[in-house]
């Protein structure tokens, strides 16, 4: 334990944040008094460090190398600056943005000052803004890179650091080997042991409001409101995030009627006081929106996550609890993919549809129907956005790329505009979003998906489950035999290596197992196809029961 106390004292000496200094000083004192719980806490904070990967950094706020704090962010900024200087023949330009989470603004300004101190040109977005605005700004301003301080939909006590590259990467998130190269630079800064000696400067520029104006104009142009849109009754919630200010401007420019707002969740609030998890996928997160929807007799409920890069949608359903059914990410993705494919076919243009390998195979059926190419990628928009010729991409975790010429990342605001366009066009013909889903099934078949998510406190349990499945793969799931298993650890089907098992069953169903890339979870993705919604639901229920039994036999 003395090594962790020494590491903590060295950390204290360079920490510029009074809050985390006090937190850590109190913890050290408890450890020295023999508090076993405090000793375990200190070990957790200093036995490792938050790993920098293709998702950047993400973790719980607090003192220590295994937490998100100003020391870790300073090391990350200095390491990223060194990486950019190494790969550039001139002076790199970096755009920095931040959302409304605790310390996001502080981390952003620390990064900007360290970037300038390292000799970079730096543009700081004018205020807290959605992640898609930062992704847009990297391309719009011709920058070499971008940093967004956000933990997206993670729990309230988390924050994160997401990195984008410009130039040939077109404003997409980093992929391997850039992550390892950046991580090596960060480690060298950390090994030097004192961030107080890093040069800093406040000589960064504030981005002009015209950058946000340009994003608003480009996003409004995704789907200008059709005739008759003014009658639409709908509800919007920002889940205490930063989406509403920007989205409201887009709605005005595109010509859509104002929604009924979930007032308790519309302003940015990093405490997220009305939700346990600020993720619209989580049970209860949209309850206030449903309540508002019932009050105003809404036809549609729309939600963004806290940094507005994801979109959730719900429709009235008398058979659903509370009278509302939240559409799955696959259902929204298939509708938006259908929209994009029809537009490409009508324009006579080539292009491709893309989705992550854990998303619905229904998108491939759409692409084939309209003569478009299709790409299945590893999870994450860092991969989806790089699909050749992409006109639309999605992943089942409520992420959609509908405007690839301007934003090469998931964008919950442009996706919302596209969905509103579909809803209002259908409404003009006496149809609803639920009717659109029915029409999709009639044209392409009934695709049904489900997900099993296992949250753990010890991430080694996830590795153990994956190892067990590889050592003793199932021969059948329930009464359905296993046709084959693809282990993507070594790569397959042209995909980069990934810790993913893809199980194909004799009836065409599919089970995919992988660890989450951002949370301590094991995720199982279930997909079936049938001739009708009822048959697909029965097949999916049987597959879920079999998958749960398999897990129970391993854990």
Indicate the SS3 state at residue 512: strand
Q: Tens digits of per-residue pLDDT, 270-289?
A: 999 999 999 999 999 999 99
The CATH number that applies at residue 489 is 3.30.310.50
The span from the CA of 146 to the CA of 163, in Å, is: 6
- 387/287 same-domain check: yes
The span from the CA of 445 to the CA of 286, in Å, is: 29
- 513/426 same-domain check: no
For residue 428, give Cα distances in angstroms to 232, 234, 388, 415, 421: 10, 15, 35, 20, 11
The CATH number that applies at residue 334 is 3.40.120.10
Number of structural domains in the chain: 4
Confidence of residue 1 (pLDDT cuts 50, 70, 90): low
Confidence of residue 519 (pLDDT cuts 50, 70, 90): confident
Q: Tens digits of per-residue pLDDT, 8-65?
A: 999 999 999 999 999 999 999 999 999 999 999 999 999 999 999 878 999 999 999 9
pLDDT surpasses 80 at 158:
yes
Is residue 359 annotated as part of the catalytic site, yes or no? no
Show the 3-state SS of 370-419: CCCEEEEECCCHHHHCCCCCEEEEEECCCEEECCCCCCCCCCHHHHHHHH
pLDDT attached to residue 26: 96
Indicate the SS3 state at residue 319: coil
- Confirm whether 223 is domain-assigned: yes
Which domain range does residue 498 map to?
Answer: 446-554
Q: Phi and psi dihedrals of 330, rounded to 5?
A: -70, -40
- 73/20 same-domain check: no
pLDDT surpasses 70 at 518:
no
For residue 373, give Cα distances in angstroms to 332, 337, 392: 20, 12, 11
- Alpha-carbon torsion angle 220, 408, 491, 330, nearest 10: -10
**pLDDT above 90 as % of the chain:** 90
- 36/74 same-domain check: no
- 117/258 same-domain check: no
- 115/86 same-domain check: yes
- 323/431 same-domain check: yes
Out of 65, 152, 449, 509, the active site residue is 152
DSSP code at position 63: S
- How would you label 487-516 residue by residue, b for 16+ Cβ within 10 Å and e otherwise? bbeeeeeebeebebbbbebeeebbbbbbbb
Q: Is the CA virtual torsion 362, 368, 374, 377 positive or negative?
A: positive
Question: DSSP string spanning 221-284?
Answer: TTSPPPTTGGG--EEEE-TTSSHHHHHHHHHHHHTPPPPEE-GGGSS--TT-TT-SSS-TTSTT
- Confirm whether 504 is domain-assigned: yes
- 401/456 same-domain check: no
pLDDT attached to residue 311: 98
Q: At what angle do helices 460-471 and 533-554 cross, to 10 degrees?
A: 100
pLDDT attached to residue 299: 97
- 276/408 same-domain check: yes
pLDDT attached to residue 170: 92
Considering only CA atoms, which of 112, 117, 114 is closest in space to residue 207? 112
Q: Tens digits of per-residue pLDDT, 375-411?
A: 999 889 999 999 999 999 999 999 999 999 999 999 9
């Amino acid at each position: 334990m003395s090594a962790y106390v020494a590491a903590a004292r060295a950390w204290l000496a360079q920490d510029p944040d009074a809050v985390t200094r006090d937190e850590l000083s109190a913890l050290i004192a408890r450890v020295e008094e023999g508090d076993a719980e405090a000793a375990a806490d200190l070990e957790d904070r200093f036995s490792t460090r938050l790993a920098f990967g293709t998702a950047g950094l993400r973790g719980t706020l607090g003192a220590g190398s295994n937490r998100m704090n100003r020391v870790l962010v300073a090391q990350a900024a200095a390491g990223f600056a060194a990486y950019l200087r190494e790969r550039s023949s001139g002076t790199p330009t970096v755009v920095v943005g931040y959302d409304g989470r605790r310390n996001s603004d502080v981390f952003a300004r620390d990064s900007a000052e360290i970037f300038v101190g390292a000799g970079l040109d730096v543009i700081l977005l004018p205020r807290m803004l959605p992640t898609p605005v930062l992704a847009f700004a990297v391309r719009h301003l011709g920058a070499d890179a971008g940093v967004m301080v956000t933990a997206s939909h993670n729990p309230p006590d988390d924050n994160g650091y997401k990195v984008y590259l410009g130039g040939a990467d077109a404003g997409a998130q980093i992929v391997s080997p850039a992550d390892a190269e950046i991580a090596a630079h960060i480690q060298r800064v950390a090994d030097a042991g004192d961030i107080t000696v890093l040069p800093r400067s406040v000589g960064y520029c504030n981005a002009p409001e015209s950058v946000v104006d340009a994003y608003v104009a480009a996003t409004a142009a995704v789907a200008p409101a059709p005739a008759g849109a003014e009658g639409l009754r709908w509800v919007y919630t920002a889940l205490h995030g930063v989406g509403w200010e920007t989205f409201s401007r887009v709605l005005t420019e595109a010509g859509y009627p104002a929604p009924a707002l979930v007032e308790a969740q519309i302003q940015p609030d990093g405490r997220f006081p009305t939700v346990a998890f600020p993720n619209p996928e989580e049970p209860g997160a949209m309850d206030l929106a449903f309540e508002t929807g019932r009050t105003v007799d809404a036809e549609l409920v729309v939600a963004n996550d806290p940094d507005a890069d994801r979109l959730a949608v719900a429709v009235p359903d008398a058979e659903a609890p509370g009278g509302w059914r939240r559409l799955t990410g696959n259902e929204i993705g298939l509708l938006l993919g259908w929209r994009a494919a029809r537009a490409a076919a009508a324009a006579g243009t080539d292009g491709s549809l893309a989705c992550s390998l854990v998303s619905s195979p229904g998108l491939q059926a759409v692409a084939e129907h309209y003569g478009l190419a299709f790409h299945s990628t590893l999870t994450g928009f860092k991969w989806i956005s790089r699909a050749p010729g992409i006109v639309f991409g999605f992943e089942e975790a409520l992420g959609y790329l509908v405007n690839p010429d301007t934003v090469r990342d998931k964008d919950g605001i442009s996706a919302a505009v596209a969905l509103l366009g579909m809803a209002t066009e259908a409404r003009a013909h006496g149809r609803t979003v639920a009717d659109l889903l029915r029409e999709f099934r009639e044209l392409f078949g009934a695709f049904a998906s489900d997900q099993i998510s296992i949250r753990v406190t010890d991430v080694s349990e996830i590795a153990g489950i994956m190892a067990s499945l590889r050592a003793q793969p199932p021969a059948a799931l329930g009464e359905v035999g296993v046709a084959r298993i693809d282990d993507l650890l070594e790569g397959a089907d042209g995909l980069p290596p990934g810790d993913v098992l893809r199980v194909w069953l004799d009836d065409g169903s599919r089970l995919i197992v992988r660890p989450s890339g951002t949370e301590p979870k094991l995720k199982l993705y279930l997909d079936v196809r049938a001739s009708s919604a009822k048959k697909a639901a029965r097949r999916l229920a049987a597959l879920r029961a079999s998958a749960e039994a398999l897990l129970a036999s391993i854990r």
